[in-house]
Amino acid sequence: MVRIGPHTLYCADAYRLRPQLGFFDAEVMDPPYVIRTAGGGSFRKHRPYLDQIQQEGLDRGFDHKIINPLLCGSVVVFCHNDQLPGVSAYLNGLFHRFALCVWRKLTPMPVANKHYVPELELYFHAWNRGYHPEGSLADLKRVVECRSRALKDYAHPAVKPDEVMNKILRNVSGRTVIDPFMGTGSTGVAAIRAGKIFTGIEHNPKHFQTAIARISAAWEQANR
Ligand SMILES: C[S@@+](CC[C@H](N)C(=O)[O-])C[C@H]1O[C@@H](n2cnc3c(N)ncnc32)[C@H](O)[C@@H]1O
């Protein structure tokens, strides 16, 4: 466990640790995807991040039960395309209300592979009474548009852009935020910028070290 000011990072298994940490106002997660890492045709060599996704087991989905409406005021959960039906069915009736929101990538991979161009990443925001979305009218738009991060950023295949995370952290209500699948700490950086108190869990020690560095830098900058 590492403390950075009021923020706490754990290098641990989220399924074991998360229930022990109790209630947070907001749970923001970008969990492992359900994604086909094989195939890809002639463009496969331009998608080396798929190899890393497979090697790190980020293509095997996640146990939906980690989302517990008794342990959070609201949840934001990113869904890869093939996860939508399962996550949607799990959330059905679990929270007071929900919205499906979209990150539209301005520079999507130029592939379709017998499907559609992967220009959209979807996420659900579901909330209990009293934890409805916040922000200006511009913040409360369901679509956020920006480029993806460069693949070399932070040696992680799925780092979310600042624009997307800053918007989400302006939308979630309350002061305390947890990300049980923290990766390189993108949620934590945006949480600090939004003036919230962050807790993160990541089981991969390499990504955990990156998260410490990013969140320490964000905390230092916030206190300058
Ligand atoms: C899609 S990535 C999140 C990336 C993050 N949004 C970012 O911008 O860096 C999911 C992360 O969850 C981590 N993870 C997967 N299973 C986990 C578990 N059981 N406990 C904790 N972390 C886990 C993976 O190592 C991976 O870094």
Around Cβ 118, how many Cβ atoms within 10 Å? 16
Residue segments in the chain with a per-residue pLDDT below the cut of 70 = 39-48, 151
pLDDT of residue 45: 63
Å from CA of 137 to ligand 1 middle: 31
Q: Ligand 1 pocket: which of 203, 209, 214 to mutate (most atoms <8 Å of CB)? A: 203
Number of structural domains in the chain? 1
Query: Strand locations in the chain, DSSP E?
Result: 2-4, 7-11, 24-29, 72-79, 97-105, 120-127, 143-146, 176-179, 197-202
CATH number of 15's domain: 3.40.50.150
Ligand 1 pocket, Cβ-based, cut-off 6 angstroms: 13-15, 30, 32, 56, 58, 156, 158-160, 181, 183-184, 186, 201-204, 207
Per residue in 63-111, pLDDT (tens digit) is: 999 999 999 999 999 999 999 999 999 999 999 999 999 999 998 888 8
Question: Residue 75: beta bridge partners?
Answer: 27, 126
What is residue 110's predicted lDDT score, i.e. its pLDDT?
A: 84
Look up the domain containing 124 and give its range: 2-222
